[in-house]
Amino acid sequence: MTLIERFFEYVSFDTQSDNNTGLTPSTPGQMFFARHLSNEFTRIGLSQVEVDENGYLTATLPANISENIPVVGFIAHVDTSPDFTGKHVNPRIVKKYNGGDIILDEESGIVLKPEEFPELSNYIGQDIITTDGKTLLGADDKAGIAEIVTAMEFLIQHPEIKHGKIRICFTPDEEIGQGADKFDVDKFGADFAYTLDGGEIGELEYENFNAAFAKVVIKGRNVHPGYARNKMKNSMRIANQFVSMLPRHETPEHTEGYEGFYHLNSFVGDVERSEMQFIIRDFNNERFADRKREIQHLVNKINAEFGAGTAKLEMRDQYYNMREKIEPVMFIVDLAKEAMKMVDVTPIVRPIRGGTDGARLSFMGLPTPNIFAGGHNFHGRYEFIPVQSMEKAVDVIVKIVELVPVKLNNYTKHN
């Protein structure tokens, strides 16, 4: 099976995660997909293949050399974002893209336009995989999965490439910040790892947002609107007031680089009850703490104005900036840089305006920077990925594996 055949097969699985089930994995489709992948792992020749009760799929490519070198891991996640539907994904390939508009759904007038997505111009002449305009694509992170599996199969078929022990893990629920919750670092047994969960070709990231989730529930009181004066409390109007008190330009659509934000990503309600869900993001620890305090402060203001118990806050941290855990072992970033350069990929080192399982894993004792998977515009209908970027990601994985014995001989943690 080719890389692209794999990818097309993988995106056919509906694996959206769900923040509200309280289960691991949060949706049954993720476990179904993990078991499908475990069968493929066995078929291509990986060993120690296991899917645990929480949907974590692990496997091993044994070393084919006797030298004492570190165990390297490669990690991706099986779930896709709950932000947009991932059911009945119908990917398409635009061969030798000519630089013009790409019609995704002619009937609905959904078009992928270079004037709106200028990064398309970087891929003129390449083959681009898009959606049909009705779903997300799922390159985040099924591209990463396809690239890792393809690289492992290549290494199995080319035993002349000498390498140490390699560990693979595909996790559930990364998109809802829970991908590392039940990851067993000691059992995984790698000295360091890489997530294949980045965007455009060349991305190499070892900094990410500090992240928190906040749910604000507004309790209202419904009274017949003709007799509601001084009696009704419309929870939707109060919730809108809450949102309006947040800094107007500290939102995803107004920020870039190292700037943090508040993001309202769910709002449901009626007069009696409204629920808002936010994600809070910042690279800086102090600003991150300030943002969480601001949410609490606004909840207190609502309760002071409309009565105790009107607003209720549930807030939890999701992950932290992995930079402090990666900097002491920067050789693993340097190794990835060198691998990219050796396969004619220019490294783009920049912070992740998001998070990966690697952020949590780095704090759990497994340093895990992030490497590009090749996609753009994740979590929506305009998602796309160039075939050539995926192929280069496979090359980078193989080259990292080749370089480890050369660069890190006599490393002694797990061997």
Same domain, 335 and 280: no
Same domain, 178 and 257: no
pLDDT value of residue 47: 98
Report the alpha-carbon distance of residue 410 to residue 399 in Å, rounded: 19
What's the whole-model pTM score?
Answer: 0.85
Segment-wise mean pLDDT, segments of 10 residues, the chain, 415 residues = 97 96 97 98 98 98 94 98 95 97 95 97 98 97 98 98 97 91 96 96 95 96 94 96 96 95 96 97 96 98 97 94 94 97 97 85 96 96 98 98 89 49
Q: Which residues contact 286 (CB under 8 A, 6 or more apart)?
A: none
Token pair for 95: 């061969």
CATH number at 234 reads 3.30.70.360
pLDDT value of residue 252: 95
In a domain, 414, yes or no: no
pLDDT value of residue 289: 98
Q: In the listed set 299, 319, 339, which residue is the last one of a domain according to the structure?
A: 319
Report the alpha-carbon distance of residue 250 to residue 232 in Å, rounded: 32
Domain count, the chain: 2
In a domain, 413, yes or no: no
CATH number at 341 reads 3.40.630.10
In a domain, 255, yes or no: yes
In a domain, 131, yes or no: yes
Same domain, 157 and 14: yes
Q: Is 133 left (phi over 0), alpha (psi -120 to 50) or beta?
A: left
In a domain, 102, yes or no: yes
Question: What pairs with residue 76 in β-bridges?
Answer: 170
Which range of residues forms the domain containing residue 90? 3-208+321-407
Report the alpha-carbon distance of residue 182 to residue 171 in Å, rounded: 9
Same domain, 117 and 217: no
Same domain, 228 and 292: yes
pLDDT value of residue 19: 87
Spot the catalytic one: 140, 141, 174, 191: 174
Residue 174 appears among annotated catalytic residues: yes
pLDDT value of residue 415: 41
In a domain, 415, yes or no: no
Residue type, 75: I
Q: DSSP class of residue 347? A: -
Same domain, 298 and 361: no
Same domain, 237 and 164: no
Spot the catalytic one: 79, 175, 383, 395: 79
Same domain, 25 and 102: yes
Same domain, 258 and 308: yes
Same domain, 178 and 98: yes
Residue 327 appears among annotated catalytic residues: no
pLDDT value of residue 404: 96
Report the alpha-carbon distance of residue 220 to residue 145 in Å, rounded: 46
